[in-house]
Amino acid sequence: MFKNSKLATSVKLACVLGSALAVSASNLAMAQEATNDKAAEEAVEKISVTGSRIARAELSTPAPIVSIGAEQLARFDTPDLGSILAELPAIGAGSTLIGNNNSNANAGLSSPDLRNLGENRTLTLVNGKRHVAGAPGSSAVDTGTVPVSLIKTVEVVTGGASAVYGSDAIAGVINLVMRDDYEGFEVNAQGSTDTNGIGVESFRYNFLAGANTDDGRGNVTFFVENQRISEVLEPELQQARAFGTVINPDDTAEDDGIADRLTVPFVGSEFINNFTVLNPFGGGPRITFNPDGSPVDQVSRDLTNSFAFGNFSERFDTVFFGEDFVNFTPKQDRVTVASTFKYDINDNVRVYGDIKYVDTDIEQQFQPSFRFGNITIDVEDNAFLDPATRGRLLDGGQTSVSAARFFTDIGNRSASNDRSMFRVVTGFEGFVDVGDTMLDYDISYNYGQTDNTRRTLNDLIPTNFAAAVDSVIDPETGLAACRSQVPSAQGEDYEDPALVNGDNCAPFNPFGFNQGSDAAKDFISGNVTREDSISQEVFLAQFSFDTSAFLELQGGAIGVAFGYENRTETSETTTDEFTKAGFFLGAATPDEEGSFDVDEFFMEVRLPILADMEFAKELSIDAAFRTADYSHAGTADAWQVGLVYAPFDDVRVRAQIGEAVRAPNVSEAFSPQSPGFANINDPCDADNISEDPDRTANCAALGIPAGFQANDNVSIDIISGGNPNLDSETAKSFTYGIVYTPTFLENFSVTLDYYDIEVEDAITFIQPQDILDLCVNGSAGLDEAFCGQITRDPTTNDVALVTSGFANAGARTSRGVDFQVRYLADLADFGLDLPGEVRFNVFGTRNLELNLFAFQDRPNEANAEAGEVGDSRDQLNTSVDYNVGDWNFNWSSRFLERAARFDVTPEELGGAGSTEDLDIPFVGSIWTHDLGVRYNVNDDTSVFLNMRNVFDKVPPGYTFNPLYDLVGRRITASVRMSF
């Protein structure tokens, strides 16, 4: 499919034109300062550049680079680096602290996601070296374990970089350059709070100490930090009103000019609550209870969202609203201890190292355990049912009724994570003379380990609950008891349903809130415990030299880098015996473990072909190649070729094309087949069946009647696991652009970059929703391969089970344009009689395409996300600094273009969405503004005050996407003192 795609066409066109354009956005100001005088260039110290292992005299690489300095990082109100990076237009927010708010294994983690291609397709490095992952089975780095106060620069390289750095650099590389040479003592304190009483707060305290050795050859630093982030639930946000959609009663048909669904507040379910609902699905009066257990008729919905949900006139206490149990941010308490050292053994050899330990405690809430209609109440015998309700039900002929309930009174299924991370890096670097050539080297060893004890608290033991809710009055005591403990109340065929310590059964009163005894709560619930252990071990030997001693092209000496890397990744999760036995509400979960190792050889060459010639101030070619042999995925090769061409002093064009790879991670390859849950929309439901013209006939072929109303607003069971036969996925990436630095306007630059990334054989989890849709969407009839993975209830026709897993089935395409404008000038340059200088910086992205193909062999079926909520087409960051004396004043802003709430997939890719789907089809453009001031009290002390989102601009309550600022106005203050 993708071999002859738009990417290939673009490459051919670029070759015809003879040049392609790419730019390093982080180095624009320096580009103008660079000189083409060869002698001057040789006098400049060579420096390392992210995206290349060849040191060079100027920050000029074929791939675009964006950088963020320590001063910019300090302006943010959060200590979480992942959330900070997600405000860059090139980085998505789906895996940030907020984006992971509904995950147990990822609770508290924050990982960068370049181009929204997935956090596992972004390689995060620290000082150019790999870092151990944060979640079991994954390769994604938790950037929260990297203290913002120690970061010197964040450098973001767009486009595949696997030829230089290895697997995972599909979308690009984020390199965190750390402070590693400090002398003195420094203390930092920062606090932040919102101004709307929401409770969004964070604090950070740290100190850094460093000293040089007496001979001046060595340096050692020591760093300690404590950071805290408060827990906030979604309903506490100022715009939260349980928004959702309902069917528009005025709608007549598709394309009738009338919105299909209306956006309204207070969308919830009257079928379930914290107090118990009897007859939730009908068959008798729908009765619920006050907290004290007294009965009350349940309220009715106004309009319908689906079978189980509708909207109400207000937030009734007896109605369940989905946002009630959703975390916005988890509670997080993190302690970091770190140290670095380096010592020059002689003029040619340096030994270095850094060590870090991070301990994080995380508390995150989930929806409590629930039973949705699968509770049976014996009306005649139940010990806790009030007489009035008993009589009412018996009068209606009901001797037993179904019930639904959230078990909030036994506690939310909160995720309590105790995560620790240890990492040590040590090595030697220097140079040796090989004949007349100086060979630079860096030989290092890197070991990292993440351990996590994660507990899901207060999970229901359904068999024990079935025993506890089946209560009777014991005739011998006159007190409530479990039927299982009263032989006289048991029939001939009675079997105790409890599977765990049935003899200790205590009767549970489900009517009202917190009416059950402590003994009953203990009997029906327990905690799920999982122990994760992730490790990474890397040996790296890299060398570089240039050919100045024996060969120079017209533009200079050839640069060469080469090396070897060996890496071992392991991940193991051990689950408690109760969970493995399937006693809890969640399905039985086995232990997981897996590991792989890889040997890699790499080489990079830089050819400075021309310099200082007419119409060729610079012409150079970069090339890199890496071959890797994975123990679990075989051989994978990556390559890239880049071009830099400066026809004039004012203009430089660059281009890079390459193929990157990503090997399957431990979870994708080795996780066992195990049960779980998923939320689905049944394609055969009457509300969904018209979304594909083939569904009606195919659903009928499954035996599903017309007008079928599926019970699909609750999670279904799935069985899924890893695939040991996966291959590495590959990605072709192409970047080109131009940088303009006019000689007549000092310190001014404009850049424009185009990127095109196409991922083939993408490792994807085949979503249960995709399996359901593809079963009935085929024009040739039912797709038996997918239908065979679905089990439906033979009586209700509801989906009961979907079997799924990982496969090299998918594809991803991402295209767009980045631009940046930078300018630094004294106010006097504008004819103003004022002191100080102004720094102006604008960085933006135009998202042209982001298509997700569930199956690459179906090129006409995709999910187009560019322009939808979370993937705005246009994003813009602006910053203006005014520096005068000891003062710095800053204005920053962030713009997100309006985004669609409906599916924007075009018809040719199988899309059926339109602006008619919703009465409010778009979330309007959001433009937020920040103001900050820093004052240097003296050489040793500075204070900083910042107000984020000055005008308190938040998206509407029906949009809780983490890309947006969902909090509103907040204040941050910090102080830094050095001694």
Q: What is the pLDDT of residues 300-318, one digit of tens each?
A: 999 999 889 999 999 999 9
Q: What is the pLDDT of residues 523-564, one digit of tens each?
A: 999 999 999 999 999 999 999 999 999 999 999 999 999 999
Return the structure tokens found at 543. 């060398």
Predicted pLDDT of residue 46: 55
Q: In this model, does residue 3 exceed pLDDT 60?
A: no
Return the structure tokens found at 430. 């220097």
Burial environment of residue 824 by CB neighbours within 10 A (0 to 12, 13 to 18, 19 or more): middle
Which of 190, 278, 334, 408 shows the shortest CA–CA distance to 976?
190
Spatial contact of 370 and 272, defined as CB atoms under 8 Å apart: yes
User: Residues of 250-267 as b/e, b for ≥16 C-beta within 10 angstroms?
Assistant: ebeeeeeeebbbbbbbbb
Concatenated DSSP letters of 408-431? GGG----EEEEEEEEEEEEEEEEE
Burial environment of residue 605 by CB neighbours within 10 A (0 to 12, 13 to 18, 19 or more): middle
Q: What is the pLDDT of residues 492-503, one digit of tens each?
A: 889 999 999 999
Q: What is the pLDDT of residues 903-945, one digit of tens each?
A: 999 989 988 889 999 999 999 999 999 999 999 999 899 999 9
Q: What is the pLDDT of residues 875-902, one digit of tens each?
A: 999 999 999 999 999 999 999 999 999 9
Beta strands in 218-330 (DSSP E): 218-229, 232-233, 244-247, 261-264, 267-269, 277-278, 287-289, 295-297, 310-311, 320-321, 327-329
Write the single-letter amino acid at 578: F
DSSP label of 304: B
Write the single-letter amino acid at 898: R
Radius of gyration in angstroms for the set of CA atoms belonging to the chain, rounded to a whole number = 31
The pLDDT confidence band at residue 714, using thresholds 50, 70 and 90, is low
Q: Are strands 970-978 and 370-378 parallel, antiparallel or unpaired?
A: unpaired
Task: Report, as an integer, the average pLDDT of 674-688.
Answer: 86
What's the whole-number average pLDDT of the chain? 90
Q: Are strands 370-378 and 400-406 parallel, antiparallel or unpaired?
A: antiparallel
CB-CB neighbours of 560 under 10 Å: 19
Predicted pLDDT of residue 60: 67
Full-model pTM = 0.88
Q: What is the pLDDT of residues 200-213, one digit of tens each?
A: 999 999 999 999 99
Q: In this model, does residue 42 exceed pLDDT 80?
A: no
DSSP label of 799: E
Percent of the chain with pLDDT over 70: 94
The pLDDT confidence band at residue 366, using thresholds 50, 70 and 90, is confident
Give just the sign of the alpha carbon dihedral 120, 126, 128, 129. negative
Predicted pLDDT of residue 54: 83
φ/ψ region of 108 (left if φ > 0, alpha if ψ in -120 to 50, else beta) reads left
According to DSSP, the residues that pair with 570 across neighbouring strands are 535, 595
The pLDDT confidence band at residue 56, using thresholds 50, 70 and 90, is low
**Helix (H) or strand (E) run with residue 860 in it:** none
Q: In this model, does residue 946 exceed pLDDT 80?
A: yes
| Main-chain phi, psi angles of 479, to 5 degrees | -115, 160
Predicted pLDDT of residue 74: 87
Residue whose entry in the numeric block shows the structure tokens 């050889």: 601
* Cβ-based neighbours of 502, under 8 Å, separated by 6 or more: 464, 467, 484, 496
